Structure 1
Amino acid sequence: MAYVVPGSQDRLVWSFRVASDKLVFGEVPGPGIEAPPAWVDAVVAVARDLGCLRFGREVELSRLVWELGIGTEYTVTIGWKTGSGLGGFARGEGMPMDAAFCAAAVWVADTAQTELAGYEFVQWPCRGRHLLKPRQVDGTPVWVDPRTDHVICAIGELCQGPRW
């Protein structure tokens, strides 16, 4: 469910958990506007991947509350609330709300990876010392081994088996 941020009638925020590839919305009342589907799908794909190849602090992913916001310029902010063993954050860099799934997934993956490594000391996704990098390859959002430029898998499929 979306809600209007107090003091700003022009900003919508959807607050939800991801459970079994489905969104679980909180009890916050709102205007009933649906979130942009490409962005929802991007968050679901990245949330699915958060359970694999993660080293460092233990994170309770089932209780992680994501926030997806649309501002006055129709740009997206993504983040999560403090809790579940993680500090909260919200970050926006001018990504348009009508971005395609591929661009949205790469940006959400990069944003989550940067946040976890920069503040929470969680390396994700990685095996050993090498972090995978989210990229767009042939119109598909993928995880790439930056040492070899080898595509490991599509974003959202990291847990489907060892490919690295």
Structure 2
Amino acid sequence: MTEAGPWGDDRFVWRIPLSGTAFGPMDGPGFDPPVTWRCALDAVARDLRCLRYGRELDVDGLIWELAVDGDFRVWAGWRGGRGVSGFSNGSNLTVDAAYGEAAAWIAEVVQDDLAGYEFVQWPSRGRHLLTPGVRTGKPFWVDPHGDVAVAPIGELCKHAGRRPGAEACP
């Protein structure tokens, strides 16, 4: 669907269920969202199930909102519901951004939004937050104390119990 953006500009908007991101948009302008961005949303949605500490948040009913404005810049956020407020954040990234950049940016804006809730830490291994980053073009969760890649974004649940540095050699 085409909507007026915050400054009156037209933009394409897709609404995608957080729990079913990989299955396509729930509502949109009549064509699929950019694959890179749909995959980035899906990866972050999978990771939201792991290493989230603090107040319980029901994220299953949330709806992603992905938008592309007239300058091809991407906006992302979600509609609120079940005790979770909505948010939308614009980026300097465009529709042709690489997957690593897109997934790391989505992870960062979601992490920033969740930090606004009392006692919510995501993703956290108990002492500090992991930070999103890009390594060799791929998005990773990084332990900032030692700059160690913990898990690829989208695979956090698979790596939640591993010690940093315990991954198999290539």
Task: Calculate the TM-score normalised by the size of structure 2.
Answer: 0.86
User: Which residue is equivalent to 1:53?
Assistant: 51
Equivalent residues of 2:14, 2:29 under 8 A apart: no
**Equivalent in the alignment of 2:152:** 154
Q: Shift of residue 18 of structure 1? A: 3.2
Q: Describe the superposition over 1:74-128 as per-residue Cα deviations: whole angstroms up to 9, x where unpaired.
A: 0000000011321000000221111011110000001100111034642100021
The answer as to 2:85 corresponding to 1:90 is: no
Give the RMSD, CA atoms, in angstroms.
1.9
Greater Cα shift, 3-12 or 48-57: 3-12
Gap change, CA 1:131 and 1:9, over 3 Å in 2: closer
The runs of at least 4 aligned residues of structure 1 exceeding 2 Å deviation read 6-10, 18-26, 118-121
Q: Is the 8 A contact 1:52 1:159 kept in 2?
A: yes
Shift of 1:36: 0.5
Alignment of 1:128-139 (within 5 A): 128-139=126-137
- In the alignment, which residue of structure 1 is the partner of 2:23? 23
C-alpha distance in 1 between matches for 2:37 and 2:118: 24
SS across alignment from 2:115 = helix
Name the structure 1 match of 2:11: 11
Residue ranges of structure 2 left out of the alignment (5+ in a row): 164-170
C-alpha separation between the residues in 2 aligned to 1:70 and 1:120?
31
1:126 corresponding residue in structure 2 = 124
Helix, strand or coil: the match of 2:154? coil
- 1:25 Cα offset (Å): 3.6
